[in-house]
C-alpha cells in the first residue's frame, strides 16, 4: 500500500510540475464563462471575433462586452477577472514569472488575485497594483474608481509620483484633476460596483464535491457586499443581492437581479427585478409569520424543523409590476390568514383597484405542454363582494409560465429529467411569468425569475 501511495504522489508531483511549467511558458487568459455579446481581437488584427467558452487570449489581445453581457477570464494559478457589460479590456501580459498586467479602456472589472501574484491594472489615467486581493476598477468618461473588497491596492495617477493605498472596504476616485478623498464604501456603493457581474456555478460529479464547489461560488456572492460569512449569517435588516444576465423566451437579453431582506423580525422579502432596454418588471414577495424568525440565517433550518402547530404564515403580500418611462402597471395579491378556515382570504388589486378572486381558479384552468415546461391559465377577477358571479366579472388575468435556460430556450421534460445535479440546473435556468390583461395600460408584465438567491439561502441555512 505504501508503494502504491508513493507512486501516486510521485505521479501527482510530476503532473503539477508539468502543469506549472506549461502555464508559465504558454500562459494565456481563457474565457470560462460568458453571457450575451462578447468579442475578442487578436494582436495586430482589426477584426473583432465572437468569443466563446474556451477562447484563449494572448498578450496584447483585447476583449469587449456588449450591453447586458459579461464574461469571466481565468489566467494562471486560477486568478480571475470578472468583466461587466460595456467594457473594453486589453491583456498586456499574462503569467510571466507570476506577473500579469491588464488595461481597462472603459467599463468595469472585478479582479480576484491569489496571494503572492503580482498584478497591475492600468486605465487611461491611473495604474493599480496588488499581490493577492480582490478589487474593482471602473473607468467612466476617462476617470477611474477603485474599490477594494479584500486586502489592499496601491494606486498611482499617471504622470505623478504620489501613491495611495486603498484598503478593504474603501473607495478611491482618480479624477482628471487628481486624487479624490479615500472613503468608506456604503451599501449603495457596494451594490453599484457588484451589479452586472457574471455569476457561475460549476457542474461536477459527486454530491460532496458539488456542495463544496457551490460553497466556494457562494463565497464570491457574499463578497459582493464586502462581507465575510459571519456578517451574512448574522443579517437582520441588511439586504444581500445576486443576479444574472440571460435571454428571455423571446430571445431578448435581460438582466435579472434579486434582493433578499428582513423588513421585520417575523418576515422576509425577496425582490426580483428584470431589466430590459425599454424598462423593467419586478416581483416583490413578502412573507410574514406569527412568530419571530431567528436573526441568524444559519439557525433557520433547525428553527423550521422544530416549530409546533401554532406556527403559521400571517400574510403573503405579492406585487408584480412593470415600469416604462416612469409609468407602469401593477397587480398585487394579498393573502391574510383566517384562523376560522385555516386558510388565506385573498384580495387582488389591479393598478390600485380592489378585486375579488382566487388563484384556485387559475390552477383549475391551467393547461400544460406535456413535452416542455410551458403552461397557460386564466385568473378571473370580480367586483368586491361578488366573487364567482359571472355578472360581476370585470377582468381576467392571462398567465403564461415557462422554464427556460440562459439562452431563452424552453426546457423540455426530457432535458430536465437528464439534467443531473439540481443546483447546477437551477443556476443555469430561470422561470418566466407573463401576465396579460385588458386593464394593463403599458403592455404585459413579463418577469424572468431566477433561483440563484434560493441556492444561496440553502447554502446558508443547511
Using one digit for the tens of pLDDT, what is the confidence trace for 419-454?
A: 655 666 777 888 999 999 999 998 999 999 988 776
In a domain, 202, yes or no: no
At residue 218, the pLDDT reads 40
Higher pLDDT pick, 56 / 209: 56
Q: Are residues 133 and 235 in the same domain?
A: no
Q: Could you say which of 194, 224, 250 is where a domain stops?
A: 194
Q: Are residues 187 and 217 in the same domain?
A: no
In a domain, 374, yes or no: yes
pLDDT winner (highest mean) among 32-41, 47-56, 366-375 = 47-56
Q: Are residues 156 and 305 in the same domain?
A: no
CA distance linking residue 267 with residue 288, whole number of Å: 4
**In the chain, pLDDT over 90 holds for what percent of residues?**
41
Residue 456 has pLDDT above 70, yes or no: no
In a domain, 121, yes or no: yes
Q: Is 179 left (phi over 0), alpha (psi -120 to 50) or beta?
A: beta
Yes or no: say if 327 and 442 are a contact pair by the CB < 8 Å rule: yes
Q: What's the distance, Cα to Cα, between the start and end of the chain in Å?
A: 37
Q: Which three cell numbers stand for residue 347?
A: 384580495
Burial class (CB in 10 A: 0-12, 13-18, 19+), 378: middle
Find the largest Cα–Cα distance for the chain.
Answer: 86
Residue 25 has pLDDT above 80, yes or no: no
Average pLDDT over residues 384-409: 93
Q: Are residues 434 and 314 in the same domain?
A: yes
Among candidates 139, 119, 141, 114, which has minimal Cα distance to 129? Answer: 119
What would the pLDDT profile of 118-174 be if each residue is shown by its tens digit?
A: 889 999 999 999 866 889 999 998 899 999 988 899 999 998 889 999 999 999 999
pLDDT category, 33, cuts 50, 70, 90?
confident
At residue 35, the pLDDT reads 77
At residue 416, the pLDDT reads 74
Q: Could you say which of 146, 166, 194 is where a domain stops?
A: 194
Residue 269 has pLDDT above 80, yes or no: yes
At residue 305, the pLDDT reads 78
Q: Which three cell numbers stand for residue 21?
A: 511549467
In a domain, 200, yes or no: no
At residue 461, the pLDDT reads 53
Q: Are residues 81 and 217 in the same domain?
A: no
* Domain count within the chain: 2
Q: Are residues 116 and 260 in the same domain?
A: no
pLDDT category, 37, cuts 50, 70, 90?
confident
CA distance linking residue 217 with residue 239, whole number of Å: 19
pLDDT category, 60, cuts 50, 70, 90?
very high
Residue 74 has pLDDT above 90, yes or no: no
CA distance linking residue 247 with residue 244, whole number of Å: 10
Mean pLDDT over each residue of the chain, to the nearest integer:
80
Higher pLDDT pick, 113 / 282: 282
Q: Are residues 428 and 327 in the same domain?
A: yes
In a domain, 294, yes or no: yes
Determine how many CB atoms are found less than 10 A away from the CB of residue 179. 17
At residue 201, the pLDDT reads 37
In a domain, 162, yes or no: yes
Residue 389 has pLDDT above 90, yes or no: yes
At residue 458, the pLDDT reads 59
Residue 46 has pLDDT above 70, yes or no: yes
What is the CB-side half-sphere exposure of residue 418 using CA atoms within 13 A? 4
Residue 207 has pLDDT above 70, yes or no: no
Q: Are residues 187 and 234 in the same domain?
A: no
Average pLDDT over residues 241-268: 88
Q: Are residues 258 and 352 in the same domain?
A: yes
Q: Which three cell numbers stand for residue 48?
A: 473583432
**In the chain, pLDDT over 70 holds for what percent of residues?**
79
Residue 229 has pLDDT above 50, yes or no: no
Q: Are residues 87 and 166 in the same domain?
A: yes
CATH number of residue 44's parent domain: 2.60.120.1440
Q: Could you say which of 143, 172, 194 is where a domain stops?
A: 194
Q: Can you give the residue range of the structural domain that contains 52? A: 2-194
In a domain, 199, yes or no: no
Q: Are residues 92 and 181 in the same domain?
A: yes
Q: Are residues 305 and 452 in the same domain?
A: yes
In a domain, 301, yes or no: yes
Amino acid at each position: 500500500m505504501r508503494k502504491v501511495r508513493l507512486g501516486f504522489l510521485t505521479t501527482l508531483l510530476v503532473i503539477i510540475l508539468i502543469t506549472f511549467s506549461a502555464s508559465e511558458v504558454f500562459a494565456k487568459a481563457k474565457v470560462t464563462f460568458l453571457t450575451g455579446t462578447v468579442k475578442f481581437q487578436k494582436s495586430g488584427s482589426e477584426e473583432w471575433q465572437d468569443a466563446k467558452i474556451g477562447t484563449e487570449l494572448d498578450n496584447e489581445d483585447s476583449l469587449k462586452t456588449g450591453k447586458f453581457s459579461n464574461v469571466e477570464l481565468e489566467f494562471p494559478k486560477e486568478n480571475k477577472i470578472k468583466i461587466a457589460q460595456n467594457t473594453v479590456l486589453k491583456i498586456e501580459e499574462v503569467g510571466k514569472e507570476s506577473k500579469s498586467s491588464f488595461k481597462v479602456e472603459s467599463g468595469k472589472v472585478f479582479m480576484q488575485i491569489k496571494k503572492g501574484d503580482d498584478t497591475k491594472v492600468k486605465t487611461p489615467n491611473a495604474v493599480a497594483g496588488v499581490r493577492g486581493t480582490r478589487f474593482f476598477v471602473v473607468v467612466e468618461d476617462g476617470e477611474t474608481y477603485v474599490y477594494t473588497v479584500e486586502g489592499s491596492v496601491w494606486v498611482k495617477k499617471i504622470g505623478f509620483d504620489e501613491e495611495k493605498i486603498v484598503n478593504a472596504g474603501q473607495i478611491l476616485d482618480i479624477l482628471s484633476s487628481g486624487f479624490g478623498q479615500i472613503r468608506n464604501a456604503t451599501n449603495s456603493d457596494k451594490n453599484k460596483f457588484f451589479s452586472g457581474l457574471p455569476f457561475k456555478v460549476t457542474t461536477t460529479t459527486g454530491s460532496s464535491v458539488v456542495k463544496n464547489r457551490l460553497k466556494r461560488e457562494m463565497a464570491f456572492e457574499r463578497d459582493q457586499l464586502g462581507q465575510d460569512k459571519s456578517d451574512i449569517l448574522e443579517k437582520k435588516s441588511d439586504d444581500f443581492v445576486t443576479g444574472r444576465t440571460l435571454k428571455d423566451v423571446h430571445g431578448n437579453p435581460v438582466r435579472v437581479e434579486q434582493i433578499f431582506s428582513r423588513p421585520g423580525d417575523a418576515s422576509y422579502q425577496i425582490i426580483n427585478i428584470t431589466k430590459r432596454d425599454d424598462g423593467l418588471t419586478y416581483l416583490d414577495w413578502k412573507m410574514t409569520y406569527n412568530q419571530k424568525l431567528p436573526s441568524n440565517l444559519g439557525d433557520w433550518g433547525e428553527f423550521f424543523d422544530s416549530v409546533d402547530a401554532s406556527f403559521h404564515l400571517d400574510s403573503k403580500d405579492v406585487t408584480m409590476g412593470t415600469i416604462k418611462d416612469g409609468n407602469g402597471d401593477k397587480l398585487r395579491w394579498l393573502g391574510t390568514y383566517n384562523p376560522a378556515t385555516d386558510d388565506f382570504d385573498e384580495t387582488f388589486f389591479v393598478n390600485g383597484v380592489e378585486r375579488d378572486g382566487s388563484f384556485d381558479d387559475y390552477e383549475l384552468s391551467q393547461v400544460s405542454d406535456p413535452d416542455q415546461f410551458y403552461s397557460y391559465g386564466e385568473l378571473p377577477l370580480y367586483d368586491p363582494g361578488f366573487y364567482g358571479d359571472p355578472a360581476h366579472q370585470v377582468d381576467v388575468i392571462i398567465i403564461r409560465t415557462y422554464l427556460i435556460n440562459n439562452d431563452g430556450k424552453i426546457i423540455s421534460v426530457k432535458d430536465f429529467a437528464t439534467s443531473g445535479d439540481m443546483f447546477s440546473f437551477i443556476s443555469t435556468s430561470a422561470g418566466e411569468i407573463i401576465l396579460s390583461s385588458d386593464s394593463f395600460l403599458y403592455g404585459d408584465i413579463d418577469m424572468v425569475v431566477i433561483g440563484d438567491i434560493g441556492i444561496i439561502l440553502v447554502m446558508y441555512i443547511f
